[in-house]
Every structure is written in structure tokens, then in C-alpha cells.
Structure 1
């Protein structure tokens, strides 16, 4: 049996950040990657996707963005190259094409055994860095529409050309759903979007990108103790497409996108919508105005030298209202000639391969700043693992550094 001091599971941004900090400390370790470095960026994103945050936030420990478009938005292939180069530059000991099928405590009670597609490995420490986007979350209704209807999760959507002819229905109005719906609209596809809880923000305000403001006002550094799950707002709707434009559902509706309330059921080849569209849009607008007010208050309080506002339109006016904002209760798949449904319904974690009691009944790992109750076992790169930025490319390094210190015995439990 092969023996390694620390095994890192996952060769994406989190696993490589962990490798950097262990390498800086001269600690033996191995990174196991099921496919290729940055695999999710390669094969689980649509063709036209751009990084949702400005290029200056493309940063990992020891490597900042060095290009000539810091305020631009990199195409996903550029993000892959950035991560690939990072892995090479830090000489990360990545073993690709190795799938971890089971993780158990060692029979001796000290350390762990990893069952992999390439054999068994024993390790004193294990860092699980498989990312937050593991298994598509699909509602039970996916079994109800006719069998000949093409249904894909946003993970498997590639382009409008890859879909069959006809109307397209996008379920879910997070960042992915809104971007895909806009792309379909631009391609001339008749498109419906099921709208749920969302958070509207300006792409830029007072001379800076929204991500800059989130960092400036400390939002990215809010911890799980500051923002427990039940009070967290939805992630902001942002896109890096076309140089980073402001996602505005009302404007999309004026351009032809048909908006619906959230999906409540599927029966008799019909989709049923809740009559909550107007209220959901108003709530999104309230988030928008509140965020702008927070920025203005921050500038007034700190004396920050930025442009004068406002630079954004008043989203409270009704000039973007159209018939496409009227409540639609049902949609007949046949009469509307629907050829495809795209489920932009998010992801669930899948840690079924972990045979150690550190995951609760809801599938969530039980950890504190990445550390579990089992000595030597850690998680890294999950959403809100410790801070709002824990799953961000530019934020995961801070958690990785802490875990590396734990492994070295530099900090106490």
C-alpha cells in the first residue's frame, strides 16, 4: 500500500491552493484528480461562459493576475489556462485520472485509507477539496414531461445550437439561468424563464465593479458566524459576458424574454407557475436599491475617493414593464412548441464515498473552518465554509493557509 503524509482530493483551485501552502512548508503531499486539472471549468460550463468577476480577482496564493485587462472578464478557457499554469509553476504533485471511490479511517485508528481507481493509499491527513458543484440538483418533476422532450441541467448546456428547434424553457433565475436565458434570446430562440428568489446588483457603480465594492465593504470577509444561512441574501446576479453587463430581468423581458413565476408542478404536458412574479421582481429591485444605499453610506462614512453617483437607472420605475411581465399560470409544452427545458436549479454535494461520520443527514459536512471532529480530516473550497469568499478563486487560499497551519500543528483546535 502506498503511504503519503497528506492526500488532497481534487485538482481544482482549492486543491492547488492547498498544495501551494503545504509545499511552502516542505510537507509531503499528493493531489488526486479524477480527470484533469480544473476539470469542472473545462467540461461542466457552457461554451460562451466568462468569469463573473473582474480579471484582477483571478488570484491564487503566490500568483496574481498578470494580464493587461484587469477590469475585463476572462473566458472560461483563460481561467483554465490560469489554473493550469499555476499547477505547473508551483510544481503541484498532481496525479490525474485517479478517482477516489471510498475514504475510511485506518484500522489502526490513526490516519486514513483511500480506495482509488489506482489502488489503496494510506495517509495521515486528508483534505477534501472537490468543490461545491458536485451533483446537479434536479426536482422530482423532471420525470413528468414527455420522454421526447430534451431536458438538460445547466452543467450540461453548451450552446443554443446544441439544442433542438423550438421554444426553450429555463427553470431557475440564478446567475446561470439568467445568463443562459439571455444567450438564448440573443440567438433568436423563443425563451421562457422561471423566476425565483434573486438579488439584483449593478455591474458597476461610482466607477467600480460590484465585486470591488463587495470586497471594499467587507462582504467577502463575513463569516458563517456573522451571516448564518437563514439570513444570507441570494448570490448577486452577475455576468462577465460582453464585457460584463448588468443583469436586468425587466430589460430582458422588454427584449422578448417571457418571465414566469417559480415552477410549482408539471402535469398533463403543462408547466404550472406560481403567481409570484411581480413580488419576486420587486424584491430583487429592493436588493438593488439597498446595495446602492449601502455603497453611498460607506462612501459618506469613510470619505472614499470615488466617482459621484448615481450612474445607474432607477429600477423602481415602470418604463420597462411589458406584457411579458404579466403573470402566466401554465405553459402547454405542445402548443408552445417547447423543444428543451434547461434546469438551472443548482447543485448538491455528494460525499457518499466518505465512510466516516462527518457528513450529516442533509449531506453537509460537519466542519469548523474546514476542520472536522476527526483529527487529520479537512474540507476546503465549499460555499460559506468559513467566509463568503471561501469558494471563490481569490478567497480559497486563506482557508488553505489555515488548514496547512493546522496540519503543521501551528494552531490549536
Structure 2
């Protein structure tokens, strides 16, 4: 599996950098960022990221910035980090002076070419963590997103004002606290994309389990779109589904393969189940009584107790509801127990999808500060 990277700035991020003194060339200037050790240790121990340090040290090795004022302090910083189990796989330092348009100086990517176009690394799901807007620009240039540790609000407002339009989408998080970075990274693991392409269907899914209920659904089957929107809205997750299937034949492949792709997306998003509730259940709708029990325990199984008297609801065959949930269960590796009673067929299936969404929302709820794995087996 391709490795995600945290490209981390040193000064102002790991070390507290108090203006107007930016050149950290003496021990008396060394103060570590508040709570950095606590949360960097959690990140290093609990999360699956490679750590890479990227730092501009203008003029290092010249009369402007002699090496003997840099390395003793830097070595102490690295040993202090390693003493807390925080190990960097590489340290990239640009020392260009003067630095105008230097290809190796942040935000340029000249120091980091080994990570680009390299199938061993998942750059799209990596992050740059830094205190300057140039760190956010570096993230954009690399093709990932930036976490802005904005510890000087006045400087940040001035710096970003002219670049907001170009960089706002690149800023994944703006904060002044390492605790928020840790929480974001732990929760941020649950935002994924998944594609499934066959001779019969072409499907792309974008899922953010910790979203707000946004839906962007297009499968070519109106009622199916409406049901998938229920998952996003009532599950409080962001979900985009784009399905192009062989509807000129029938609806079977489109619905079944969408269930598989959605299940695969959940399996990927919930790969790390530490701190997660795991189980969920729910809900009635008018005269319909729907019950959906779910367990993201790593084993697929479907119990289906729902009977429909109509052949279709909208343009969606009722026999395909079972196939959708069976496909999801198989791909997501979850147990599903679905039961529904009622008189109105539309109400019954909508109640099932809403209950399904609520059950997922309960099961995926997670405490970002908990490392508890909900299993006596020690693995899920």
C-alpha cells in the first residue's frame, strides 16, 4: 500500500518561533511548541504516516548563518524528538542564499522530487504541516493539502489575503494547537475515494465519513439516487457517487456494482477502527417499522426480512434492494440485519435506507482521543 507522508516544517511548527527573531541560531532561543511532544508522539505511534522534515535555513554555511550555530541546536532538537519516539525518515534543508526563485526552497518542490510520481507514496492523501503560507503553497505544489499552524494571526491575515482564492481549498485545517492537528489527522483517515470499472459499469465514489450530510449522487436511476442521498443526509456523511452503467440492458449491474463500490469505500475509510463504536441500529417512518443492525467487524453477512408487493418503486426493481445491501455487506465486510414491516412500499424502503444511514452514523462514531479497539480478539 502506498505510504502517506507528513511533510513537517521545523521552525514555528515543532519549535516555537517568536517574531521578530526568526533565525534559531542559539540555545537560548530554543522553545518547543506547546504540547508538540505530546501529540507528535501520538501521531508517530498511532497513525500510519511517514514523517519528513522540510526546512528553509537561508544562508546556512555562510557568514550570514555559520554552520556551528545551527547543527548543535538542530541535533538537540532531533534527539529530543527521537527520545519521544518521533522519528523522521528524512530531513530536507534548503540553505540557498540569496534565495530568490531557488527551485529547492519552499514552496518550490526541488528538495522533494523523490516523493513525486512515485507509486510508493500516496501524495494526494499526504499533508504539509507548517506555520507559514509558503507551507500551504508547498502543499499545493506537491498536490496534497496543508495544515496551517497559524500562531501569529496578524501575520497570517496579511499573508493569506492576496492568496486566499488560490489556497483556500488547499488548507485542510487552520489551528494554533497541536491537539487539533492530531484529532484532525486521526479523523481525517476516514475520507477516501474509490473507483470500480468493469465492462458493465464505471463508478467513482468519494466518501467523508465525518462530513456534514452533503450528497452528490448520479446513477441514472432517480429513485436509487434518492435512496443514496438518504445515506448521506441521515448518516451525516459527505457522499459523492457517479455511476455510468449499462441501463440499456437493465438496472441490475448499476445497482449491484454501486453497492460493491460503496462498500469498498467504507472498508477503506474504516480500516482503522480504534476508538470506533463498531455497532449501530435504528428507525420508524410513518406506518413503516424498519430495523437495521450493523457491525463493522470485518465479516460479511446479510439477514434480510423485508417483502415488497410492487415490482418497482419509481424505476427501481424492488428485487434489487436485497442485492444492493448484499453487495455492500460483502464489500464493506460488515454484518447487516435488516427487517421492515409496513403498508406503503415507498415508506418501507425509504425507512430502511434512513435506518441504514442512522446505523452507520452510530457505528462509525469515534473518540479521536481513544485508542480502544472494540474487539476481544485484538484485531478487526
Please state which band the TM-score falls in when normalised by the shorter chain. Answer: under 0.3
TM-score under structure 1 normalisation? 0.24
Q: Which has the higher contact order (CA 8 A, sep 6+)?
A: 1
TM-score under structure 2 normalisation? 0.26
Higher helix share: 2
